[in-house]
Amino acid sequence: MKVLVINSGSSSLKYQLYDMRDESVLAKGLVERIGMDSSILNHKPTGGQEVTEVKEILEHNTAIRKVLSMLTDPEHGVIKSIDEIQAVGHRVVHGGESFKASALVDDPAKTEIRRLFDLAPLHNPAAMMGITATENNMPGVPQVVVFDTAFHQAMPEKAYLYGIPKVLYNKYKVRRYGFHGTSHEYVSHIAAEFLGQAIEDLKIITCHIGNGGSLTAVQGGHSIDTSMGMTPLEGLMMGTRSGDLDPAIVPFVMNKEELTVNEVNSMLNKHSGLLAISGISSDMREITDGMANGDANCTLAFEMYEYRLRKYIGSYAAAMNGVDVIVFTAGVGENSVVVREKVCENLTYLGVEIDDALNAIRSGEPRLISTSQSKVKVLVIPTNEELVIARDTYRIVSELK
Ligand code: AMP
């Protein structure tokens, strides 16, 4: 079965076409600037020549049409006909409390995703545009939705409720949902497999740190706590997001600076974090380069980032009464030797000891970076959210037959 995986944003659409016989990627690509002046379609057939086209793509319907024509293009395509695509999997950010697992797209599922627009006003409508555009261009092809929140639905009440009037939960479902669930689930399973141990027996802290970042405490294979909250703003300090802060700061700053709700949201989500503290960039590469060149603001940004990350690791070790494995994944976690080194340097009280030579190795494979004496195994595991979406889609659609 060939499965097309789609991650549809408000002005972008990422895709990967999988052949599920061997889970190989046949092609992948990205449409950017949908609805803007000159949209860009970048397409990479595996083993073939990468192509970039600048076209006018005004909405998602056209974007999907262009993607399908690229996939079947005589020169750059990888399939002869779109009929070869037997299922489509979509990443949907928010599944609320309704979706505890991936689901087939049918009318009730679509109604529910629309009902959740309120909780993820930037993300869910964009995913819905992708679903509708796929339906229009590939009528009759089964579609599956895979949620960032689903893995975290196992969290107990004490972890997901906030200490605010319960009526806000009852009326509006204000609670912790957590995100990056597909990644946390994937890397925790790979970790157990890599170590040759049953996931049921392990206490794992997964650190998904990329441009956005979240940590999850995975106990017995279930998410029992995670650092992002009702929205992806809570938790770690991130590229452009503040992470945790005293909530009283929000009304205080709104009042002093006469900011609207949208302005304060934008400040906390887009103009905070590494970018705000360093004053130059949200990208960890530039922060560590700046630090190496003696830039004081970059050094402070790095120290705050690392300190907050380490405090979360400590709190999740407390939440689980111990930790067997720490996993680093995503852009920063997979690539930044210095972030891993500095975080682990101050976790010796947990029995963490990393091997500097192993930590310095770069490879796209899961690998151990702790010493043989380390009480906690420390792993670097490349995440693969698209593969999880393809697998769930394949499983759900296969069960239809
Ligand atoms: P992601 O959101 O998982 O795609 O991660 C993107 C982020 O990873 C970038 O913004 C960078 O901050 C970070 N990143 C990528 N490569 C490196 C690297 N070699 N060293 C440090 N950070 C990196």
* pLDDT single digits (tens) 10-60: 899 999 999 999 999 999 999 999 998 889 999 999 999 999 999 889 999
Longest Cα pair distance anywhere in the chain, in angstroms?
Answer: 62
- In this prediction, residue 346 carries a pLDDT of 94
Residues within the annotated binding site for Mg(2+)? 7, 385
pLDDT tops 90 at residue 297? yes
Active site residues: 148
Rounded CA separation 141/88 (Å): 7
Pairing of strands 39-45, 51-55: antiparallel
Map residue 293 onto helix, strand or coil. coil
Regarding the beta carbon of 213 and ligand 1, being less than 6 Å apart is answered no
Cβ-based neighbours of 156, under 8 Å, separated by 6 or more: 224
* Number of the ligand 1 atom closest to the C-alpha atom of 288: 21
> Which residue carries 């972030």 as its tokens?
339
Provide the pLDDT confidence category of residue 401 given band limits of 50, 70 and 90: confident
Mean of per-residue pLDDT scores for the chain: 96
- Cβ pair 96, 177 in contact under 8 A: yes
Residues within the annotated binding site for substrate? 91
Tell me which fold the domain 2-147 belongs to.
Nucleotidyltransferase; domain 5 (3.30.420)
- Cβ pair 186, 194 in contact under 8 A: no
Give the strands of the sheet with 213-219, arranged side by side: 222-226, 213-219, 203-209, 325-329, 377-380, 367-368
In eight-state DSSP terms, residue 370 is: B
Give the model confidence (pLDDT) of 342-395 as tens digits.
999 999 999 999 999 999 999 999 999 999 999 999 999 999 999 999 999 999
Calculate the dihedral angle through the C-alpha atoms of 260, 261, 262, 263, rounding to the nearest 10 degrees: 50
Nearest-CA residue for atom 8 of ligand 1 = 331
- In this prediction, residue 325 carries a pLDDT of 98
Regarding the beta carbon of 281 and ligand 1, being less than 6 Å apart is answered no
Regarding the beta carbon of 239 and ligand 1, being less than 6 Å apart is answered yes
Residue range 284-293: average pLDDT? Answer: 97
284, 305, 341: which to mutate for ligand 1, most atoms within 8 A of CB?
Answer: 284
Rounded CA separation 140/125 (Å): 22
- In this prediction, residue 120 carries a pLDDT of 87
Give the model confidence (pLDDT) of 81-122 as tens digits.
999 999 999 999 999 999 999 999 999 999 999 999 988 888
Residue range 321-338: average pLDDT? Answer: 98
Query: Would residue 99 be called left, alpha or beta, if left means φ above 0 and alpha means ψ between -120 and 50 degrees?
Result: beta
- Cβ pair 119, 96 in contact under 8 A: yes
Q: Say yes or no: domain 197-385 is CATH 3.30.420.40.
A: yes
In eight-state DSSP terms, residue 354 is: B
Regarding the beta carbon of 209 and ligand 1, being less than 6 Å apart is answered no
Domain with CATH 3.30.420.40 in the chain: 2-147, 197-385
Give the model confidence (pLDDT) of 121-171 as tens digits.
888 999 999 999 999 999 999 999 999 999 999 999 999 999 999 999 999
CA 115 to centroid of ligand 1, rounded, Å: 33
Regarding the beta carbon of 232 and ligand 1, being less than 6 Å apart is answered no
For the chain, the straight-line distance linking the first and the last C-alpha, in angstroms and rounded, comes to 12
Rounded CA separation 153/140 (Å): 30
- In 3D space, the residue among 340, 279, 274, 280 whose CA is nearest the CA of residue 301 turns out to be 274
Provide the pLDDT confidence category of residue 61 given band limits of 50, 70 and 90: very high
- In this prediction, residue 118 carries a pLDDT of 87
Residue range 220-238: average pLDDT? Answer: 97
Residues within the annotated binding site? 7, 14, 91, 208-212, 283-285, 331-335, 385
